[in-house]
């Protein structure tokens, strides 16, 4: 575990969309940031413990994804929109 934060972490609500070549692939509504993602870390620790993989200080845990990985296949323009954070996009050539 890292050092506890002394800051008052404020929970914010966001809606997200994943868009491939102008087609909405997935949406998530009313996601509580950052708690919806951070709450899954406890689940991960318990699941890893079941198979004998004890997470330790210094282990890197990548958080921040809602849902399963989605292959882009032959799609070229990928966008993510967030009502809280704004939009981001990438062009694959």
Let me know if residue 55 belongs to a domain.
yes
pLDDT of amino acid 48: 92
Q: Which residue has the higher pLDDT, 38 or 16?
A: 16
- Enter the pTM of the model: 0.69
DSSP 3-state of 31 = strand
pLDDT in tens, 28-59: 999 888 888 777 888 888 999 999 999 888 88
How much of the chain exceeds pLDDT 70, in percent? Answer: 90
Let me know if residue 6 belongs to a domain.
no
DSSP 3-state of 42 = helix
Look up the domain containing 18 and give its range.
13-65+75-91
Give the torsion sign (CA, 59, 63, 69, 72): negative
Let me know if residue 3 belongs to a domain.
no
Domain count, the chain: 1
């Amino acid at each position: 575990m890292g050092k506890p934060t002394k800051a008052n972490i404020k929970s914010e609500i966001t809606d997200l969309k994943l868009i491939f070549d102008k087609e909405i692939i997935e949406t998530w509504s009313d996601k509580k940031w950052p708690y919806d993602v951070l709450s899954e870390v406890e689940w991960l620790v318990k699941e890893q413990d079941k198979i004998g993989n004890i997470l330790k200080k210094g282990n890197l845990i990548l958080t921040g994804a809602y849902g399963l990985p989605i292959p882009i296949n032959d799609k070229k323009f990928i966008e993510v929109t967030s009502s809280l954070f704004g939009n981001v996009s990438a062009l694959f050539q």
